[in-house]
Amino acid sequence: MRILIAHSFYRQTGGEDRYVRQQAELLAERHDVEVLARENADLVSRPDAALRLTFSPAELRAARRTVAAFRPDVIHVHNVYPSIGPAIHLAAAKARIPLVMTVHNYRLRCPNGLMFTEGQPCHRCQAGAYWNATMHDCFPTVSQAGAYAIALAAHRFAFRLENRVDLFVAPSRFVADRLEEWKIDRSRIAHVSNFTPVVTEPPAQGESGLFLGRLVPEKGVSVLIDALQLAGDPPFEIVGDGPSADEMRARAERRGLRRTTFLGELDRPGVDAAIARARYVAAPSLWDEVAGLAAMEGLAAGRPLIASRVGGLAELADEDRGAVVPPGDVDALAAAIRQLADDPARAAEQGRNANAFATAELSPAVHLERLEAAYQRVLDRRA
């Protein structure tokens, strides 16, 4: 099969970018794969960045050239904002090639893609009232909010890009259900979990708790820090960086946390070493996280997961392989932390369950098989 992957890589790289690269490598083991890549960092100083977000004739020509030269059987699009815009959707339609799209966030209905702003979940724009993004703290600037609001309105109601997608790939059952709520027919939705390499022989349980991810309000790190204080200051490592980093360090100092260490952003070996030192992984998100790659990595390494009951996270953690707590509930999070910090035998048992779950549901082999089935589904439908 010939597969063209299209993705605009983010200015600050994260789990989605890493997943796209790993997916391309995985597919290339059995198929011919080409990646149409754009770097959003290249748009920082471009005066036409806002226009390219809505529609770029040059980008459309480039997409059509790529499609014509590679002649894919399937086009798989991930993130198109802001660099690619609607170009790959229009090029796929022109060439009559099936288009598959992985839903990594909620940008089909929300300008900032999170359905979260000003510290809480938000659904103001869902029906199409995108001007709300300019009236709330959804973006760093009002001009950026306006650009995304205009682009989303144009893509949804003028270009009707949603109708040009043959199959939406939902990384969690939660996202699949959300797409149905948005009136996308179930026949156009496939649940295919993201994947992560699974550790066949997980290292012995460590002592520290671990958070992996960007330090931004929606990740719930402020709740985590308050819970660590309530839990009695157990050993804990925070891996990641972001706009809330300084604020979170100051908060930890005010709470008197002496055993919480901020490690900043680490390379892959550094992340793997941090997971190996951990007894459990905490994902205290406040937004409806789509899937949670960091949470998956912890499970794959045999670490139990403490997660908020939001989005796709609740599907990854349960009592057999961690704990699920209400989002923002400091007391419940502290109790779950204390339980695993004080009971290494329980943590080890849940870690074994976590690794078994990851082997059965989150491995590269399982992902490849399900993704191939999704591609074949759209090809058979077109035939």
Burial class from Cβ neighbours inside 10 Å (0-12, 13-18, 19+) for residue 185 reads exposed
pLDDT of residue 41: 64
Show the beta-strand stretches assigned E in 315-371: 322-325
Residue-by-residue DSSP string for 129-165:
-TTHHHHTTSSSSHHHHHHHHHHHHIIIIIS-GGGG-
pLDDT of residue 300: 97
Mean pLDDT of 145-172: 95
pLDDT of residue 25: 97
Task: Give 44 or 26, the one with higher predicted confidence.
Answer: 26
Q: Is the pLDDT of residue 45 over 60?
A: no
Which pLDDT band, with edges at 50, 70 and 90, does 186 fall under?
very high
Distance between CA atoms of 278 and 275, rounded to whole angstroms? 5
Which pLDDT band, with edges at 50, 70 and 90, does 43 fall under?
low
Distance between CA atoms of 53 and 7, rounded to whole angstroms? 14
Q: Is the pLDDT of residue 216 over 60?
A: yes
pLDDT digits 0-9 by tens, 339-358: 999 999 999 999 999 999 99
Q: Which residues does 241 contact at the CB level (< 8 Å), separation at least 6?
A: 214, 215, 264, 265
Domains of the chain: 2-104+166-195+364-382 (3.40.50.2000), 208-361 (3.40.50.2000)
- With a pLDDT cut of 90, the percent of the chain lying above it is 88
Task: Say if residues 339 and 332 touch (Cβ distance below 8 Å).
Answer: no
**Lowest-confidence segment of 4-18, 92-106, 182-196, 210-224 by average pLDDT:** 4-18
pLDDT of residue 68: 97
Q: At what angle do helices 330-342 and 221-230 cross, to 10 degrees?
A: 60
Residue written as tokens 């035998």?
A: 345
Q: Give, for 261, the enclosing helix (H) or strand (E).
A: strand 260-264
> How many whole angstroms from its chain centre is CA 1?
26
pLDDT digits 0-9 by tens, 301-333: 999 999 999 999 999 998 799 999 999 999 999
**Strand, helix or coil at 99?**
strand
pLDDT of residue 46: 53
Mean pLDDT of 3-20: 86
Going by the DSSP 8-state scheme, the letter that residue 4 receives in this structure is E
Say whether the peptide bond before residue 82 is cis (omega within 30 degrees of 0): yes
Q: Tell me the pTM.
A: 0.93
Supply 277's token pair. 């030192």
pLDDT of residue 319: 78
Q: Is the pLDDT of residue 13 over 80?
A: no
Mean per-residue pLDDT of the chain: 94
pLDDT digits 0-9 by tens, 277-296: 999 999 999 999 998 899 99
pLDDT digits 0-9 by tens, 52-88: 789 999 999 999 999 999 999 999 999 998 889 999 9
Side-chain-side CA neighbours of 4 within 13 Å: the count stands at: 24
Nearest alpha-carbon partner for 124 in 109, 139, 143: 109
Distance between CA atoms of 218 and 215, rounded to whole angstroms? 9
